[in-house]
Each structure stands twice: as structure tokens, then as C-alpha cells.
Amino acid sequence: MALTKDLGFGPDEQLVRDQARKLLSDSVPVDKLRVLVARDHHEAYETKIQPASWDDGLWKQMVELGWSALSVPESAGGLGMKTIVSVALAEELGRVAVPSPLPATLAATAVLKAAGATAWLEKIAGGEAATLAITPESGSWEPGDTDVEARAAGAGVALHGKAAFVQDARKARLLVVAAKSAGGVALYVVPVDAPGVTVTPDRIVDLTRDQATVTFDGVAVDAKSVAAGEGKGKAALETALPTILTLLAADACGAAEWQLQTTADYAKSRVQFERPIGFFQAVKHPLVNVMLGIDRARSLTYAAACAIDEDPADALRLARMAKAAASDAAAFASDRSVQLHGGIGFTWECDVHLWFKRQKHTEQLFGNATQQRAHLARILEAAV
Amino acid sequence: MSEKRDTQDQAEFREYCRRWLEENRPPAPSFRLPISPIEVSSEEQRQYLCAWQKKCHAAGLVGTDYPKEYGGHGHKGFQAIASQEMGRAGVPFMINVIGLGMAAPTILVHGTEDQKRRFLPPLLSSDEIWCQGFSEPGAGSDLASAATSVVREGDNWIVNGHKVWTSLAHFASWMILLGRHTKADKYNGLTYFIAPIRDAKGVTVRPLVKITGETGFNEVLFEDVVIPDSLRLDEVGKGWTVAMTTLTYERGAAEGAGSGGGTSVEEYVNELIALAKRTKRGAATAWDDAVVRDKVAQIAIRAEGLRQNARRMRIEALVDHPMRIPLQSKVLITELIQDLSALGVEIAGPHASRYLGDPGAPDGGHWPHAYMNSYGMTIAAGSNEIQRNILGERVLGLPKSK
């Protein structure tokens, strides 16, 4: 099959991205973000339960614009748009660092799509936010590694155990749960308020997300809850993995670009030794290196997004590269954004820590740069 | 992978290139071939490589994009495919690299009709070799301080000065020369010429020896050398503008009249893996070391990133600033080659102490040689420090260093 010349990013795709860029920059300016998540440092880190503030009105607006339906197939009431559109959207969300259930919902959508769970995809297209509850407490990101068990209970099945590192659990309505049994791994969709489900928020560094450990204490599931039957869950998670990695890489790229532009602007205005500090090569060259890292990561991210739709056999290689490059770019952009702001960059008052913290979180999700490269080396070896 | 994006015409041309290269691959010479055109030093190397370029040109793999009236093949947009396939086939490189990559596109943009008809055909066929006269002892990173003087006398110009780091000058018929017609204005005081080198009165070419021990580049002295005004490229005082065209091509921001051959970056990544797998470390191999695998994977990501940058560069909606990616390519490719060569040395361990000509040297001594040689590329064409100034100033809008 011939790959498209424009990476699948034509006028329709650009329209959605540009509209998102405008809406998000208009509705989530930095001062509003600060009011939402960083008004007070005691509140952010010292209250019994960490707040998880977000703007429900903005989410409703996103749903009305069709963002939750973007990557849902048309057969399930969605818009059936290309992966690169969701990826471009994830980049815009990272750029404004907005707390939103959308990134988690896009990841859950990828899994449900791979599982062919049409009924649940319809709910997402209709505006129900969802998140993945597939990760064990060990933090293994291997598809199918889960601490949740599906045990026979009467005519049906009940879920027991817990899922860790569940993203934006307090913003989502639906949990996509990976559960193991003798027949292999299955995927179930469970409402967060179903009897037997307990959401225990983690206290996390990142103020723009929430994260929880979710316990399942005999949660009854029926046939309607099954997204992928016993033995079919792992394959669905494997199919969705390149999309999940690429969405995260895009978030990191968008956030890193904000860090780069904000720090470059500061270097143009902050005067020391009678010159704007951006004159000095000790400031200028590292900022250029941040840019080189971002562009490598962005190019790989779009290439991975395109491959997911047009060349699936090569998608995991590119997605691993994209997530590795984006995690490295995120780390370096974060490092320089704080350091080059000098004393003010170390304070709560300066905005850069909000993005710094989001990046630290994104870097680790579904494997940091080192972990991606360990997998990648095996893929490369097989191709030699 | 790139072939998946080909149109039918492109796919057919790619197939033609592959078949032709398969059938016409030249036999390995009895002497050692250098790894790039800038180390060609002996007459036997020159003859072998010129014959190969001539053959590739006749077959349409060089000058592919160029108009037929200038010795090209009028197959616009297809040079990149021919170059890719030559890289992939691992055939010898094109010797006339300065001509193809820099002189030809500069002449095509700024030359008169007569200049194009006179100079492009023998350039493409390598009947005439070209060299570049930009750098001087006092004009390296600050190229616009070039001081080689050009003084008008009637229909001629008299050239006096000293050019350095001039690859291929010892074989060259012609040089693209940046000269100074007035000291009154740094940038507008420059004028660009095509200068005769071979057998020209007053021109002295002296070889310089590099840290690798090889010659291949030179210093060129001009003493009252007479050049007719018909060899001036573009207007008097436009030298800097013309030089920027040349540098755009030299720094890899645009496709020239052909390149290709030699080893591609992707192949080097595979060679690194192969080297790591056969390098013994006790009972295990270097590849069994997770740190080595991580470093190889880092290189592979940088190599793929370069390819994907080139792909994204053409999609306006996915770039924030038109020069942002093009201006990065020189820094990225040269540092990638440097770091991957250094990694080859690290993986080979004590074996990497053995140099060219030692029978026990892995890959014939390629890794330490390529590593040392890579500094030519990170320094040439505007050192990478200057490239970072340019990127910081033009793309990020940071205050100018000068």
C-alpha cells in the first residue's frame, strides 16, 4: 500500500488541529490554569486527598466539538478520523497542560477499537470519558500483565484485585479493565461507580493530572461488560500499544514546545551584564539543543501516527522511537526551562513547574526512554 | 520504507535504478577506496571514481533533475530516488561532490545561460572536477570576513589571496571562489567567481595533511591570477547572496545534482549491531550488554529522526517555522556520524586501536578512521557552534552574537 505524502495530515485534519489550538489557548490561559491547579501549595500537596480540579464545562465543549468521537469508527457513531488527528490533539493538550479526561479517553478508545467493542465505543463517542485500568502495582507496562483476576461467580464473572497508575480516574466515567483467568486475559468495561469499585487517589507530583489505584472487590460483570473475551485481551492491548505510546509522545512534544518558547521569551527579556541573557551562548546553544530534541520527537511521533493507519507492521518500532525521543526531549526541555529561568524558575510563582511536573509524569507512562530503547533494540536486532 | 510513498512513475524509476545498479556495480579496485570524496588522493582512485560517475551520469542517476540542455536528464524530482538507491546499493560515491552538491545548484540559480551550457555538462559527467574556495586562514566560521582580493582591470579581474581546506583542488579544473572587491562593506564587498585552477598561471595547490594521515584537501594560493569577467557569477557585490545559495546546498537543506553511493546512515546502524554481535566480551558479546544496546538504540533513533524530519519538512501544516528543520540538518547529520563512529570504537574496544592496513582491525580500521575524520564535517560548512548561533537567532529569535 502506498503511504500518503502528507503523513495523512491534509486540510480536514489541519482544521481540527487548528480549531483545537485556538479553543485551548483561548479557554485555558496560564492564569486560569494556575487558579485551577496551583492556587495554593498547601492545597496542592498537603490536603488529605489531593484535589483533582478540572473544568467540566470545557470537557462538554470538547464533546460537542466531537473530540471524544474523533477516533471512534463511524460504525460506532464516531467520526472515524485518522490517528494523526488524535495525536495532533494530544500535542495541543500537552501544550496548554490542561487537566482533562481526553488523553485517557483517547488511549481507552484505542484499546476498545482494537477489541472491536462497538457498544462501548458508542458511549465514548457520546461523551462518556474512559480510562485504562490495566497496570499492576509493579508498574509493568507489558500488555496483559495485570493484578486483577476474573473469577466465576454464579452465572457470570466477578473481578477481584487492583489496578495501579490509573490515569485521570476521577475524571473518567468508565474503566477499561484487564483481568486474567485460566483462559487468559480479558478486557471488561466497568463504570467507576459500580458496586465493589474503590478509587483511591495517589498523591502525585503532576498537578495537571490525577492518578489512582482502583480496587475491585468482587465487581460483578455481565456479558455486556466484555470488551474482549478470555484470551483476547492481550492481543487487543498489543494492537493498541503503538497508539498509546504515540499519544503520550505527542503530549510531551506539545508541552516541550511551550517550555522552549516560554524560556526563549524569558531569555530575550531578562537582562544581566547589560545584555538579554539569550545573547550568551551558554543560554542560546542549550535552547537550540532543546529544539533539536523536540523536532526529532515530533517527526517520529507523526511518522508513528501515520504508520499506525498505513503501515501497522512498522508502527511499534516508530512508536517506541517516538516515545523514547519525546521522553528525552521532555526531560531536557524541563531541565533547561527551570535552570535558565534562574532563581525565579525555582519558585512556585513561576509557571514553568506546572509543565515540568506534567513532563516528569508523561516520561514514565508506558515506559520511559530507557525502557523504550530496551524494547527497540530487540526490534532492530530482528531486522539486521 | 520510503518506497511505499512512491507514485507509479517514481516506483518505476526506483526499480530501474535498482536493476541498473545491480547489473553495473563496478568491480572492487585492487587499491583502497577512501570513505568519502574529500579523501581522494591518488590518480588511480581519481580515474576509477571518475569512470564510475561518468557511467552513472550516462545512465541517468546523476544530474537526474537537471534540464537536458545543461547535460541533465530533465527528470525533475527524481534525483532523490537515484541518490537513495545508490546509497542503499552500497556502490562507490560520486567523486565530483563539490560540483554536484554545491557548484551545480549555485550555477543553475545564479549563472548566465552561457555559463550553464559551458559548465554544467562536464561537471555532471565528472570530466571536470570542482572545488570550493570559501574558507581562508582568517575566515573560518566568520566566512564574510574573506579577504582574497579581486580587482577589476578592464574585462578581467586580478585575484590575490589564500584559500584553505580545499578538498579536491589537486584534481580540480574549476573553483567556486568568494572574493573581495572592496573592504568598504563586509557583506556587500564580496563577489563570486568561477576560477580556473588546473594549469592556471599564478595558482599554487599544496596538499594539507589531516589528523587521519591522509591528504585530499589543500591550500590554494592565488598570485595575480587573471580571470575574465565572463566567469563572474551574478552581480558585483552579490557574492554573499550567492554564497548563501551554495551553503544552503552544502548544509543539506536542499537536494543538489546528485550524490549517493557510499554507506548510508541506516547501513551504519546495522553495521554497529553486527559489530556488537561479533565482538567478544568473555563468554558473551558486546551486544549482550544492555548499555551497548541502549547506545545503539539512541543512534538508531537519531538516524530515523533525520529521515522523518526530511519527510515532515515538506508538510507546511506540521512545521512552525519554514527554516526550522532545514537549518538543523547539518548539525544533526554530522554529529550523528561522529557519535556513531565513536560508538563503533567503544564497542570494538582494544581492537579499535588497530588502524587502516592492520589485518586485525575490525572493518578494516573503519571505526577509528571514521571517528577522526568526522571532525572535518562538524567543523566544515560553518562549524556546528555557528550553526547553533544561526538556529538560535533565526528560528528562536534570540539576540545576535555579533
Verify that A66 and A154 share a domain, yes or no: no
Q: A200-235 burial, b if ≥16 CB within 10 A, otherwise e? A: ebeebebbbbbbbbbbbeebebeeebbbbebebbbb
Decide if A211 is inside a domain. yes
pLDDT of residue B50: 96
Nearest to B101 by CA among B261, B268, B264: B261
Q: Grid coordinates standing for A192?
A: 467507576
**Confidence band for B382, pLDDT divided at 50, 70 and 90:** confident
Residue A130: its H or E element = strand A130-133
Nearest to A369 by CA among A311, A328, A335, A309: A328
Residue A175: its H or E element = strand A174-181
Contact A288/B1, CB-based, under 8 Å? no
Decide if A2 is inside a domain. no
Q: Which B residues, 221 through 280, put their C-beta within 8 Å of a C-beta on chain A?
A: 269-270, 273-274, 277
Contact B287/A381, CB-based, under 8 Å? yes
Per-residue pLDDT reduced to its tens digit, B313-367: 989 999 999 999 999 999 999 999 999 999 999 999 999 999 998 999 999 999 9
Q: Which residues of A touch B80 (CB under 8 A)?
A: none
Decide if A5 is inside a domain. no
Cα A14 from Cα A6, distance rounded (Å): 11
Q: Grid coordinates standing for B88?
A: 542503499
Distances in Å between the Cα of A87 and the Cα atoms of A188, A243, A245, A288, B99 are 25, 8, 10, 24, 42
pLDDT of residue B99: 95
Verify that A64 and A24 share a domain, yes or no: yes
pLDDT of residue A25: 95
- Full-model pTM: 0.89
pLDDT of residue A384: 83
Nearest to A98 by CA among A319, A355, A272: A355
Cα B21 from Cα B27, distance rounded (Å): 12
Q: What is the total count of domains within chain A?
A: 3
Verify that A213 and A263 share a domain, yes or no: no
Per-residue pLDDT reduced to its tens digit, B293-328: 999 999 999 999 999 999 999 899 999 999 999 999
CB neighbours of B314 closer than 8 A, spacing ≥ 6? A5
Same fold flag, B2-124 and B130-242: no
Strands A130-133, A174-181: pairing is parallel
Q: Which positions of B are annotated as active-site residues?
A: 250
Measured torsion, CA atoms of residues A381, B2, B5, B9, in degrees rounded to the nearest 10: -130
Q: Grid coordinates standing for A168?
A: 485521570
Contact A325/B305, CB-based, under 8 Å? yes
Average pLDDT of span A272-301 = 97
Verify that A312 and A280 share a domain, yes or no: yes
CATH of B265-395, one of 3.40.50.1110, 3.40.50.740, 1.20.140.10, 3.20.20.70: 1.20.140.10
Q: Whole domain around residue A317: which residue ranges?
A: 234-383
Verify that A240 and A379 share a domain, yes or no: yes
Radius of gyration of chain A (CA): 21
CB B129 within 8 A of CB B167: no
pLDDT of residue B1: 38
Q: What is the DSSP string of B11-29?
A: HHHHHHHHHHHHHHPPPPP
The residue assigned the cell 577509528 is: B368
Q: Which residues of B touch A377 (CB under 8 A)?
A: 293-294, 296-297
Cα A287 from Cα A74, distance rounded (Å): 43
Which of A171, A197, A232 lies at the terminal end of a domain, its last residue?
A232
Average pLDDT, chain B: 92
Verify that A140 and A121 share a domain, yes or no: no
Cα B141 from Cα B71, distance rounded (Å): 34
Compute the nearest-CA separation of B56 from chain A (Å): 28
Verify that A174 and A264 share a domain, yes or no: no
CATH number at residue A137: 2.40.110.10
The 3-state DSSP class for residue A171 equals coil
**Confidence band for A57, pLDDT divided at 50, 70 and 90:** very high
**Confidence band for B156, pLDDT divided at 50, 70 and 90:** very high
Per-residue pLDDT reduced to its tens digit, A189-246: 999 999 999 999 999 999 999 999 999 999 999 999 999 999 999 999 999 999 999 9
> What is the CATH architecture assignment of B2-124?
Orthogonal Bundle (1.10)
Verify that A189 and A218 share a domain, yes or no: yes
pLDDT of residue B259: 58
Cα B205 from Cα B219, distance rounded (Å): 6
Q: Does A187 touch chain B (CB under 8 A)?
A: no
pLDDT of residue B260: 54
Which residue type is seen at B373?
Answer: N
pLDDT of residue A1: 43
CATH number at residue A103: 1.10.540.10
Of B293, B304, B309, the CB nearest to A295: B309
Dihedral angle sign, alpha carbons of residues A343, A348, A351, A356: positive
**Confidence band for B25, pLDDT divided at 50, 70 and 90:** very high
Radius of gyration of chain B (CA): 22
Verify that A218 and A285 share a domain, yes or no: no
Contact B304/A1, CB-based, under 8 Å? no
CB A284 within 8 A of CB B389: yes
Closest residue, chain A, to B319 (C-alpha): A295
Per-residue pLDDT reduced to its tens digit, B61-100: 999 999 999 999 998 889 989 988 998 888 999 999 999 9
The 3-state DSSP class for residue A211 equals strand
Residue B218: its H or E element = strand B217-228
The residue assigned the cell 540559480 is: B109
**Confidence band for B140, pLDDT divided at 50, 70 and 90:** confident
Q: What is the DSSP string of A215-275?
A: EEEEEEE-GGGEEE-TTTHHHHHHHHHHHHHHHHHHHHHHHHHHHHHHHHHHHHH-EETTE
Per-residue pLDDT reduced to its tens digit, A141-200: 999 999 999 999 988 899 999 999 999 999 999 999 999 999 999 999 999 999 999 999
Cα A56 from Cα A62, distance rounded (Å): 10
Average pLDDT, chain A: 96
Per-residue pLDDT reduced to its tens digit, B268-279: 899 999 999 999
Q: Residue B402: is its pLDDT beyond 90?
A: no
Percent of chain B topping pLDDT 70: 96
Verify that A325 and A189 share a domain, yes or no: no
Domain ranges of chain B: 2-124, 130-242, 265-395
Average pLDDT of span B250-260 = 63
CB B79 within 8 A of CB B17: no
Q: Which residues of A touch B332 (CB under 8 A)?
A: 292, 296
Q: Grid coordinates standing for B195?
A: 576560477
Nearest to B194 by CA among B241, B145, B159: B159
Predicted complex ipTM:
0.96
pLDDT of residue A42: 95
CATH number at residue A300: 1.20.140.10
Closest residue, chain A, to B296 (C-alpha): A377
pLDDT of residue B258: 62
pLDDT of residue B263: 66
Superfamily name with CATH number, domain B130-242 = Butyryl-CoA Dehydrogenase, subunit A, domain 2 (2.40.110.10)
Average pLDDT of span A315-340 = 98
Chain mean position to CA A267: 30
Cα B159 from Cα B152, distance rounded (Å): 9
Verify that A146 and A75 share a domain, yes or no: no
Closest residue, chain B, to A376 (C-alpha): B297
Q: Which B residues, 331 through 370, put their C-beta within 8 Å of a C-beta on chain A?
A: 331-332
Which residue type is seen at B154?
Answer: G
Decide if A189 is inside a domain. yes
Verify that A145 and A116 share a domain, yes or no: no
Q: Which B residues, 290 through 329, put their C-beta within 8 Å of a C-beta on chain A?
A: 290, 293-294, 296-298, 300-302, 304-306, 308-309, 311-312, 314-315, 317-318, 320, 324-325, 328
Decide if A4 is inside a domain. no
Contact B297/A377, CB-based, under 8 Å? yes
Average pLDDT of span A327-344 = 98
Which of A82, A102, A128 lies at the terminal end of a domain, its last residue?
A128
pLDDT of residue A191: 98
Q: Grid coordinates standing for A200?
A: 483511591
pLDDT of residue B264: 72
Q: Grid coordinates standing for A223?
A: 456479558
The 3-state DSSP class for residue B203 equals strand
